[in-house]
Chain A
Amino acid sequence: AQSVAQPEDQVNVAEGNPLTVKCTYSVSGNPYLFWYVQYPNRGLQFLLKYITGDNLVKGSYGFEAEFNKSQTSFHLKKPSALVSDSALYFCAVRVPYSSASKIIFGSGTRLSIRP
């Protein structure tokens, strides 16, 4: 069965500092991995994805994520945090091209950036 773990409910970072939001996954096969962001009273917005190739993928708003197959991790990173990055972040996994190619989300991590 597919599963995604986000071990931190909340991450607090000072503006200008680098940030990391952690994600690990468990699936059979080679998954596609995604990060989404949710602002208050809004739907989830797609940030970036890993399909294949370079383990470091870049996405919207200066975010990037590093895929590590041996550690089954896909951590979200940003070199310099902004107050406007404060939101709820979700990691997700999908096994592509399968009959059960559903998208499973982690529990979410609330990112708080202090000025």
Chain B
Amino acid sequence: DAGVIQSPRHEVTEMGQEVTLRCKPISGHNSLFWYRQTMMRGLELLIYFNNNVPIDDSGMPEDRFSAKMPNASFSTLKIQPSEPRDSAVYFCASSVGTATEAFFGQGTRLTVV
């Protein structure tokens, strides 16, 4: 298996633009997580899906952030409009069910200028 696949690996965008990050979980995994990592705040859970349904989105910073999981093999995290403080590394992770470890993608490094 190729593991969790995220795209793009790097994204540089101007403030105010829309940004879409993509994730393909490991086949057969039905839990999906989006995390954000910064030096100041560490690794924060943004949203958690189980069987394509958002279970906990309490970590989503504000209405500018939205996440979807239209099917079991694809998820997106969208920021509209983007701001410089959104600059971070965004990770997607997936797991089998609700009782196992999660496997992480390589992350998307987002820079908003």
Contact = CB atoms under 8 A, between A and B. Distances in A.
Interface of A: 32, 34, 36, 42-46, 49, 51, 90, 94, 96-108
A34 B98 contact: no
B105 A98 contact: no
A43 B50 CA distance: 21
A94 B99 contact: yes
A106 B107 CA distance: 18
B106 A105 contact: no
B79 to A, nearest CB: 20
Contacts of A99: 55
Contacts of A104: 45
Contacts of A43: 4, 91, 104-107
Interface residues of B, number: 24
Contacts of B104: 36, 43-45
B1 interface: no
Instruction: Specify which of B33, B95, B98, B103 lies most central, judged by the most chain A CB atoms within 10 Å of its CB.
Output: B98
B108 to A, nearest CB: 10
A1 to B, nearest CB: 10
Given A34-B101, A96-B98, A44 B91 contact: yes
